[in-house]
Amino acid sequence: MDTNKSFSTSFTVDQTPEEVFAAVTNPRGWWSEEIEGDTDKFDAVFDYHFEDAHRCKIKITELVPGKKVVWHVLENYMSFIKDQAEWVNTEMIFEISEKDGKTELKFTHEGLVPTYECYDVCANAWPTYINGSMKDLITTGKGHPNATGRPTTEDEKEFTKK
């Protein structure tokens, strides 16, 4: 897989790697309240759901406290694209490291490549969740996840109209 073309973003905070790890493993606090299943256990499978627009089943394939979390997409459905396999077998990788007394989180959606139909929507939405909502969860204790039945990003507001 060509990770150079995969989507990636990062940020740095004053909080500890353990605090960043706790936020990553709490996607209900930054991504969506509509998640069912364990999100903080190795080998666990959870379901993400956003209205009728996006659903996916994710398996946690790596969980290294304070350092790394990897999610593997098992199933995916997006109402706004033709090829429903676009996210299937992609991985969301959260790498946590210390840098100059701060903590850096690097997020890569490996396999989410520019040739995919969903790339533009996803590449606009991920920074809202990662650099906005998750960072706020870490730094202020409150993120901005999709509430049940309420879109968070402008892109999701758009594609839920379709």
For the segment 78-95, the average pLDDT, to the nearest whole number, is: 95
Residue 96's H or E segment, with its range, is strand 91-99
Q: Is domain 3-159 annotated with CATH 3.30.70.20? A: no
Domain spans in the chain, listed from the N-terminal domain onward? 3-159
pLDDT at 161: 44
Confidence of residue 154 (pLDDT cuts 50, 70, 90): low
Query: Which tokens sit at 120?
Result: 């533009």
pLDDT at 50: 86
pLDDT at 4: 64
Query: Which tokens sit at 58?
Result: 């994710």
- List, for residues 10-65, the tens digit of each pLDDT value: 999 999 999 999 999 999 999 999 999 999 999 999 999 988 889 999 999 999 99
Q: Are 94 and 104 contacting, i.e. CB atoms less than 8 angstroms apart?
A: no
pLDDT at 20: 98
Residue 21 class from Cβ within 10 Å (0-12 exposed, 13-18 middle, 19+ buried)? buried
Q: pTM of this prediction? A: 0.89
Exposure letters 96-132 (e unless 16+ CB within 10 A, then b): bbeeeeebbbbbbbbbbbeebebbebbbebbbbbbeb
